Structure 1
Amino acid sequence: MSKNIVLLGLPGVGKGTQAAKIVETYNLPHISTGDMFREAMANETELGLKAKSYMDAGNLVPDEVTNGIVEERLAQDDTKNGFILDGYPRNIEQAEALEQMLAKQGRDINAVLYFTADNDVLVQRMMARGRADDTPEVIQNRLNVNGELTEPIAEFYADKGVLHKIDGAKDLDDVFTDVETVLDNLG
């Protein structure tokens, strides 16, 4: 059975770290929207050029363009045995579009790993990164905005029975043990 995985969680919760461990252990491609945009723009695909025009103007890339780029990426051979989506879907419309594009390929999402941690843990972690613009107020605002976006997606996947909450505040290796438990039970 393929492992088609979505990673959810607030900034600082450790999604990137866990994604790297999943890639290493399960040999799945890690697909992040930022990487996909850069690749599509570098390859000057039609959708890549569209995305570039929005980004160059300082605008968000609309769902239809983002969905198209994700669909192009998921059609590539290296995703046949599964994939890790990170940063997508960002809203319910994208989650529904993802469901439809996978259904066309006879696939679906097997697991959504929802990494959670208390905001104070996340603020501490993000402060430790040492970015100049990362004040506690800015970080808290970012967490609030991301939380408002993430919760409906978590509920969407919980309703489908594929959401797995993982305590991202634990030690990195303990978090990965929880990830392995979920993924190994997928078959």
Structure 2
Amino acid sequence: MDPVQRRRAIVAAVFRLVEAGGVGAVSLREVAREAGLNIGSVRHYFSSHRALMSAAAQEVGERMAARLEGHTPGEGDPVERVAFVAEELLPLDAERTTELTVLSEFVSAARTEELYRPMARTMAADMRTVLREALAGAGAERPHEAAEDLAALVAGLGHDAVLPHGSPGPDGIRASVRRFLRGVLPGGSPD
């Protein structure tokens, strides 16, 4: 396995451990076990637990950013154009659910661990920027304010969906996003 693939396999093991047991479940020994490697192999790529966790936090941000790149509203219904962007940030399939679960764990850890704060701040700022640009491109009258509200809605829906206390499910999530967007985009009115 080449070094890039090996690093990805190790970070994927971190994701599985974080998804299953939170940030506290990750140790170099557990990552090695999960990745099917010896601990020396993990240390070859990541010199410390901190370096490993930093790489995993960066990876989750990069995955979400890559999915959002190039998602600018085009032609068609403004609600659907912006909803498409917002839904890239929501756990509507297995991949996005894993990413959001891992991201949520890192953001929660940022409250007490400085290591995760830059990633949490960057992700929040990037989300607001993408939503503001999508809303402005779709004709929202006050895109900055609408983006703040939509970011709060996306964060709340995402939080609900990854916690075991009762999410509205994918259809309910999609409906909530569209209700909000119909209230802030031209020609729309909330149900």
TM-score surpassing 0.5?
Answer: no
More strand by share: 1
Identify the structure with bigger relative contact order (alpha carbons < 8 Å, sequence gap 6+). 1
- Larger C-alpha radius of gyration, 1 or 2? 2
More helix by share: 2
Q: TM-score, normalised by structure 2?
A: 0.32
